[in-house]
Chain A
């Protein structure tokens, strides 16, 4: 079945960097893009960016675009999200999700990873 499995919990200091992985399985990797979303404690969902898994094209949120990089590794069917110059307000659960489409419709994010907790604290 289709699965997205993310890397584990991270604790980082302010000013540091974090790289979260999202390993895909159960479908053709290069067909469907991946979006990254985060959720700060007690808050709503915030979209961070999108990567096309065919050619690596990216789109980022203006809020984090100077600090974020999304990459892919087709050989391992894995997508990565790196966030730099971490601040306390980057503390959140980070999710990856597949943007699915077929010949009839675009679906939005149909399968999500389990989430990765990133804590930024001195």
Chain B
């Protein structure tokens, strides 16, 4: 099993801030990592796949990076509509695994 440690579990930031969310894995997964955004009562939405590629329609203030076992989701210029919980997921191997989630709040 590939374990994923996502941090922080909760982040509170002001509009316009830059936010970083970390995802650390127990082993390398090449580029088979995605990030999802989930708003309350809704299904998750794919934000980023293959570590750094934005899904169609996702605003450019979202970006992904990293390699090996350490990956990061960055939101530059936080907006009120970005309030949500964010998850990383590896799809390199079975079982697929998710990070524990990061809840993003606006101050």
**A60: which B residues are within 8 A, CB to CB?**
95
> Which are the 4 A-B pairs with shortest beta-carbon distances?
A108-B34, A112-B43, A107-B49, A59-B94
Contact check, A45 vs B43: say whether CB atoms are below 8 A apart.
Answer: no
In the complex, per-residue mask of B28-46: 1 if CB is within 8 Å of any chain A CB, else 0: 0001111010100001111
Q: How far is the CA of A60 from the CA of B1 in the complex (A)?
A: 12
Query: B74 contacts the other chain (Cβ, under 8 Å)?
Result: no
Interface of A is mostly: strand
* A52 smallest CB distance to B (angstroms): 12
**B50: which A residues are within 8 A, CB to CB?**
105-107
Task: Give how many B residues have a beta carbon under 8 Å from the other chain's beta carbons.
Answer: 27
* A51 smallest CB distance to B (angstroms): 12
Tell me which of B31, B33, B87, B95 contacts A45 (CB under 8 A).
Answer: B87
Contact check, B49 vs A110: say whether CB atoms are below 8 A apart.
Answer: yes
The chain A residue with its CB closest to the CB of B87 is: A45
Task: Give how many A residues have a beta carbon under 8 Å from the other chain's beta carbons.
Answer: 24
Q: A97-B44, A108-B34 are in contact. List 13 more A-B contacts (CB 8 A).
A: A44-B98, A44-B99, A45-B38, A45-B87, A45-B89, A47-B95, A61-B95, A97-B43, A105-B49, A105-B50, A105-B53, A109-B89, A115-B43
Q: Which residues of A contact B (CB under 8 A)?
A: 35, 37, 44-47, 50, 59-62, 95, 97, 99, 105-110, 112-115
